[in-house]
Chains A and B, each alone.
Chain A
């Protein structure tokens, strides 16, 4: 079912500029050429009846309801498949058209149940609407005979004509037989039902799965009256290839595919536009509501990042906000072995302030700090870094981007001059060659992956650089031209070999480089990568990638038209993460693939507000807008605005805070929304550091792993319970809007403000829009941003200022932000994490579609249906060598620690490499990862850990201790602290 508020124009808007004039029902209409007659009419306010058409899908022309008359043409063409022409005269209503449409509807209704009053779609059913529009008053064919509606039919007796339908009442089944065309309801998917008895076989679901999602899980099976929608090989939805994105549910014009939440609650009565709190795509949604009850989340067709599409997380996985484990009361305790004591907000805030001031008085001003999550809004992260800099009086502020994309900030700032991706997502529609490196978009950025696949189906070429055979390498109607299956840890080496081919084979865009880049730096780089030691042949033993593949891929990227690079954490989370980002920027500059549509360097951010949290000055060395704290002029600006002197020295990064804590110098930490115990590497090191602190304050929704080591718990708010903004991977600032009250009583920004005031630093914001106004006043790239402008435009891509009042989709168009682009030499330095006799395999970690980050949100939803535990993927050869079969318990041991997981034997892996996710705390994935980190930013080297894998029979010692510890910690929470059933 479509959104309750959106207008459906029937067919998509064409991408043309030329205008065409025509007459529809005597009304002059002017629309872009390529517009369908159906859409042109809808734009003019004339609603031609339709069923199989929707503006999310290409015209199909099957339902025959949208027939029109066109002067000078024979017959009654379908308006959805008929493009407008200059001077065309269209009639949408006539006696003949009415008769035809009524006849069509009569046939539809003759095979559709008449349970409208109890149907979930009642009130927004397109079939019901069309029956009304065409004036259907009777169904002459009755409901006898072959049908898909009723489970049983009367047995036909000779000479008595057609079979007579049965009421379906089991008590009256005598003399009846099972209806071979009837199929029962499929309730296998946890979020939606499929009721074939209501299906009109319009193919909208099938087309949505193909055109919008690109999975091709659905099909029309059979011919004629036997046609029916089937998932995969006529399997249940859950067992099929369906990825539960919900595009089919949204496209369905009847209640055949319905959200279970809609069935449970009924139709929504109002709708609020907000932004998803999951990955860095930042999809826009309409939260469709009954009061404060969410009925369903519908992706916003006007959403600039997602254009009406979504994934299983954003559309469905929102139940965590009201999960019984949600804590809604502030709590204190002196020691982590003590029971939590529920306290008032006043007592909790006063305690935090007095403890932090005590620690500073005892151990020094720099003994405390604060960190945020990328799940926090821009306004929240801005406020926390302000709290740290202005109220704490130090620069010990950091954000979880430290452990994911901090190398992007450093690498892109050093080369291009700005710590952000260069394009908007729509740029991909002009891309000819995609180079995807260290990213798995179908799992981690699924909505953008659908856009990628759409472009690939239209003919774009694909290069994948990844140790694993990710789904994008080969899936329905998508096949990579090159898959460079490199060894983990050799990104820089592979990127250098690609550069070597480009330089040595004369593929450099010399004109671009001469006009746009620093000459000396380029010449140094050219000489550096031209060195034979960087040739694919010289490096293939190290990288594991055959030289011919590298040469082919380099030629394709450099000369295949618009080349765009998309990369993810498989690039950044390495000891040379920053170097790899620079090497990527070098490739783009050398080939002139930057500064226009279709090209660029595009980091795919893991979490929804990674870009924003970095923009907001969360890093210890820079103010909002990426300006160093040592810059006297910038610092003076902030000192004037904030009314206090500020430090000119960088503070501690998250891993540095841990070291300082273990040194006894760092004693207090304010953590908003981040679960460092689960997400940061070397878990035992993290928990030892937290245990060495005297006041750990956790502001969260749940008793997360970090909260088990906390002394103060402040109940936070979900994205549904506050106003603010998120900034996605394409620099797009989008609105987050409150649809319900925070059960804890305060939005997160209010809690930070309470702490600041209690510590004697005044903050008096009345609304997050005032925080954004302050950000805009102090940050040149945000100068034109305000809540009012975001609401007017829907979203804004920064920079937004006087020169770009409506934002900037593509950066570095005429000149780089830093002036001339700077090539940097990127020497490959092998990681110190090498395999050896004791640890002969390399472990790399990542994400899966249905779960998100530490899983705090998705684990508390039915998404665990698809992924109930983290498993270890291992190549059949490595498994066989160790006597491991699918499903075995296997111990995974590194020099940092060991854990136990179930094995999944998979040819997606290359021999010598194993893989796991980190969505479940009990998996202990980060018990194994080490303290190795990126040389420039300390981003952890999650992607390379040398391990041994063996068959075992029980959980690891750490897991057993963790289970006992977690059980004890949960027992220390009073039942009254949890959310009360509403």
Chain B
């Protein structure tokens, strides 16, 4: 586990807060995932995926759903 994953968790939660206005949870999670895919370096994506795999402590539900959706979309693997 990386010492700075907490910061990534905060960032993912912040992203989820913006998309939370979408009542369709599938769409909202997809938007979170698309944002992560478009703007996060693959290393950051791998790290947040790994964090989710390890239990995802601190990730709020929509952020966690977004990261799960990212895992489906993304070709990077958790590290």
Residues of A within 8 A of B (CB): 366, 395-396, 528, 575-576, 578-579, 620-621, 628, 630, 649-653, 656, 659-660, 662-663, 665, 825-827, 829, 931, 933, 935-938
User: In the bound complex, do residue B17 and residue A935 qualify as a contact, i.e. CB atoms below 8 Å apart?
Assistant: yes
User: In the bound complex, do residue A827 and residue B21 qualify as a contact, i.e. CB atoms below 8 Å apart?
Assistant: yes
| Alpha-carbon separation in the docked complex, A628 to B4 (Å) | 27
Q: Is B3 an interface residue (CB 8 A)?
A: yes
Q: List, in ascending order, chain A residues with CB within 8 A of B2's CB.
A: 663
| Alpha-carbon separation in the docked complex, A396 to B42 (Å) | 11
In the A-B complex, the 9 residue pairs with the closest CB atoms: A935-B14, A825-B21, A827-B21, A829-B17, A659-B4, A652-B41, A649-B42, A935-B15, A935-B18
| Alpha-carbon separation in the docked complex, A665 to B79 (Å) | 14
Contact check: which of A395, A653, A663, A829 meets B18 at CB < 8 Å?
A829
| Alpha-carbon separation in the docked complex, A829 to B39 (Å) | 21
B71 CB to nearest chain A CB (Å):
16
User: In the bound complex, do residue B18 and residue A579 qualify as a contact, i.e. CB atoms below 8 Å apart?
Assistant: yes
Do A620 and B41 form a contact, CB below 8 Å, given A579-B18, A827-B21? yes
Q: Is B35 an interface residue (CB 8 A)?
A: yes
A47 CB to nearest chain B CB (Å):
61
| Alpha-carbon separation in the docked complex, A528 to B17 (Å) | 15
User: In the bound complex, do residue A651 and residue B41 qualify as a contact, i.e. CB atoms below 8 Å apart?
Assistant: yes
Do A366 and B3 form a contact, CB below 8 Å, given A829-B17, A935-B14? no
A823 CB to nearest chain B CB (Å):
12
| Alpha-carbon separation in the docked complex, A630 to B34 (Å) | 12
Q: List, in ascending order, chain A residues with CB within 8 A of B43's CB.
A: 366, 652, 660, 665
Contact check: which of B3, B4, B39, B44 meets A936 at CB < 8 Å?
B39
Closest residue of chain B to A410 (Cβ to Cβ) is: B39
A691 CB to nearest chain B CB (Å):
16
Q: List, in ascending order, chain B residues with CB within 8 A of A662's CB.
A: 3-4
Closest residue of chain B to A657 (Cβ to Cβ) is: B41
Contact check: which of B3, B15, B17, B40 meets A650 at CB < 8 Å?
B40
| Alpha-carbon separation in the docked complex, A663 to B44 (Å) | 11
Interface residues of B in 16-53 (CB under 8 A from A): 17-18, 20-22, 35, 38-44
Contact check: which of A628, A649, A829, A937 meets B41 at CB < 8 Å?
A649
| Alpha-carbon separation in the docked complex, A335 to B39 (Å) | 34
| Alpha-carbon separation in the docked complex, A726 to B40 (Å) | 29
Q: List, in ascending order, chain A residues with CB within 8 A of B22's CB.
A: 825
Closest residue of chain A to B47 (Cβ to Cβ) is: A663
User: In the bound complex, do residue A935 and residue B11 qualify as a contact, i.e. CB atoms below 8 Å apart?
Assistant: yes
Q: List, in ascending order, chain A residues with CB within 8 A of B3's CB.
A: 662-663
User: In the bound complex, do residue A628 and residue B38 qualify as a contact, i.e. CB atoms below 8 Å apart?
Assistant: yes
6 interchain pairs, CB-CB under 8 A: A650-B41, A652-B43, A656-B41, A662-B4, A827-B18, A935-B14
B48 CB to nearest chain A CB (Å):
12
State how many residues of chain B have any CB contact under 8 Å with chain A.
20
Closest residue of chain B to A621 (Cβ to Cβ) is: B39
| Alpha-carbon separation in the docked complex, A931 to B10 (Å) | 11
Residues of B within 8 A of A (CB): 2-4, 7, 11, 14-15, 17-18, 20-22, 35, 38-44
Do A656 and B44 form a contact, CB below 8 Å, given A829-B18, A935-B18? yes
User: In the bound complex, do residue B18 and residue A650 qualify as a contact, i.e. CB atoms below 8 Å apart?
Assistant: no
Q: List, in ascending order, chain B residues with CB within 8 A of A937's CB.
A: 39
User: In the bound complex, do residue B15 and residue A936 qualify as a contact, i.e. CB atoms below 8 Å apart?
Assistant: yes
| Alpha-carbon separation in the docked complex, A656 to B4 (Å) | 10
Q: List, in ascending order, chain A residues with CB within 8 A of B21's CB.
A: 528, 825-827
B11 CB to nearest chain A CB (Å):
7
| Alpha-carbon separation in the docked complex, A578 to B17 (Å) | 13
Main SS of chain B's interface residues? helix
Do A650 and B4 form a contact, CB below 8 Å, given A829-B17, A936-B18? no
Closest residue of chain B to A831 (Cβ to Cβ) is: B14
Main SS of chain A's interface residues? loop
User: In the bound complex, do residue A931 and residue B39 qualify as a contact, i.e. CB atoms below 8 Å apart?
Assistant: no
Closest residue of chain B to A652 (Cβ to Cβ) is: B41
Q: List, in ascending order, chain B residues with CB within 8 A of A653's CB.
A: 41
| Alpha-carbon separation in the docked complex, A952 to B22 (Å) | 49
User: In the bound complex, do residue B7 and residue A931 qualify as a contact, i.e. CB atoms below 8 Å apart?
Assistant: yes
A82 CB to nearest chain B CB (Å):
61
Question: Which of A396, A575, A829, A937 lies at the interface centre, i.e. has the most chain B CB atoms within 10 A of its CB?
Answer: A829
User: In the bound complex, do residue A659 and residue B18 qualify as a contact, i.e. CB atoms below 8 Å apart?
Assistant: no
Q: List, in ascending order, chain A residues with CB within 8 A of B18's CB.
A: 576, 578-579, 827, 829, 935-936
A590 CB to nearest chain B CB (Å):
17
| Alpha-carbon separation in the docked complex, A651 to B38 (Å) | 10
B47 CB to nearest chain A CB (Å):
9
Q: List, in ascending order, chain B residues with CB within 8 A of A579's CB.
A: 18
| Alpha-carbon separation in the docked complex, A282 to B10 (Å) | 37
Q: List, in ascending order, chain A residues with CB within 8 A of B38's CB.
A: 621, 628, 630, 650
Q: List, in ascending order, chain B residues with CB within 8 A of A576's CB.
A: 18
Q: List, in ascending order, chain B residues with CB within 8 A of A660's CB.
A: 41, 43
Q: List, in ascending order, chain A residues with CB within 8 A of B41's CB.
A: 366, 395-396, 620, 649-653, 656, 660
Q: List, in ascending order, chain B residues with CB within 8 A of A827's CB.
A: 17-18, 20-21
| Alpha-carbon separation in the docked complex, A64 to B3 (Å) | 79
| Alpha-carbon separation in the docked complex, A528 to B21 (Å) | 9
User: In the bound complex, do residue B42 and residue A575 qualify as a contact, i.e. CB atoms below 8 Å apart?
Assistant: no
Closest residue of chain B to A832 (Cβ to Cβ) is: B10
User: In the bound complex, do residue A650 and residue B39 qualify as a contact, i.e. CB atoms below 8 Å apart?
Assistant: yes
Closest residue of chain B to A647 (Cβ to Cβ) is: B42
Q: List, in ascending order, chain A residues with CB within 8 A of B35's CB.
A: 936
Q: List, in ascending order, chain B residues with CB within 8 A of A575's CB.
A: 14
Closest residue of chain B to A825 (Cβ to Cβ) is: B21
Closest residue of chain A to B20 (Cβ to Cβ) is: A827
User: In the bound complex, do residue A938 and residue B20 qualify as a contact, i.e. CB atoms below 8 Å apart?
Assistant: no
| Alpha-carbon separation in the docked complex, A920 to B18 (Å) | 35
Q: List, in ascending order, chain A residues with CB within 8 A of B42's CB.
A: 649
| Alpha-carbon separation in the docked complex, A933 to B17 (Å) | 13
Closest residue of chain A to B41 (Cβ to Cβ) is: A652
Q: List, in ascending order, chain B residues with CB within 8 A of A665's CB.
A: 43
| Alpha-carbon separation in the docked complex, A936 to B42 (Å) | 16
Q: List, in ascending order, chain A residues with CB within 8 A of B7's CB.
A: 659, 931
| Alpha-carbon separation in the docked complex, A937 to B15 (Å) | 10
| Alpha-carbon separation in the docked complex, A656 to B39 (Å) | 11
Q: List, in ascending order, chain A residues with CB within 8 A of B17's CB.
A: 827, 829, 935
| Alpha-carbon separation in the docked complex, A395 to B44 (Å) | 14
Q: List, in ascending order, chain B residues with CB within 8 A of A528's CB.
A: 21
Closest residue of chain B to A655 (Cβ to Cβ) is: B7
Closest residue of chain B to A366 (Cβ to Cβ) is: B43
A40 CB to nearest chain B CB (Å):
58
Q: List, in ascending order, chain A residues with CB within 8 A of B15's CB.
A: 935-936
| Alpha-carbon separation in the docked complex, A213 to B43 (Å) | 51
Question: Which of B2, B17, B18, B21 lies at the interface centre, i.e. has the most chain A CB atoms within 10 A of its CB?
Answer: B18
| Alpha-carbon separation in the docked complex, A649 to B39 (Å) | 9
Closest residue of chain B to A934 (Cβ to Cβ) is: B14
Q: List, in ascending order, chain B residues with CB within 8 A of A578's CB.
A: 18
| Alpha-carbon separation in the docked complex, A827 to B15 (Å) | 12
| Alpha-carbon separation in the docked complex, A456 to B15 (Å) | 40
Closest residue of chain B to A576 (Cβ to Cβ) is: B18
5 additional contacts (CB under 8 A) given A579-B18, A827-B21: A630-B38, A825-B21, A827-B20, A935-B14, A935-B17
Q: List, in ascending order, chain A residues with CB within 8 A of B40's CB.
A: 650
B29 CB to nearest chain A CB (Å):
16
Question: Which of B2, B22, B42, B43 lies at the interface centre, i.e. has the most chain A CB atoms within 10 A of its CB?
Answer: B43
| Alpha-carbon separation in the docked complex, A751 to B41 (Å) | 28
| Alpha-carbon separation in the docked complex, A936 to B12 (Å) | 10
Question: Which of B3, B4, B20, B22 lies at the interface centre, i.e. has the most chain A CB atoms within 10 A of its CB?
Answer: B4
A739 CB to nearest chain B CB (Å):
40
| Alpha-carbon separation in the docked complex, A973 to B6 (Å) | 40
| Alpha-carbon separation in the docked complex, A143 to B50 (Å) | 91
Closest residue of chain A to B16 (Cβ to Cβ) is: A935
A168 CB to nearest chain B CB (Å):
72
Closest residue of chain A to B40 (Cβ to Cβ) is: A650
Q: List, in ascending order, chain B residues with CB within 8 A of A938's CB.
A: 11
Question: Which of A395, A649, A651, A660 lies at the interface centre, i.e. has the most chain B CB atoms within 10 A of its CB?
Answer: A649
Q: List, in ascending order, chain B residues with CB within 8 A of A826's CB.
A: 21
| Alpha-carbon separation in the docked complex, A395 to B18 (Å) | 26
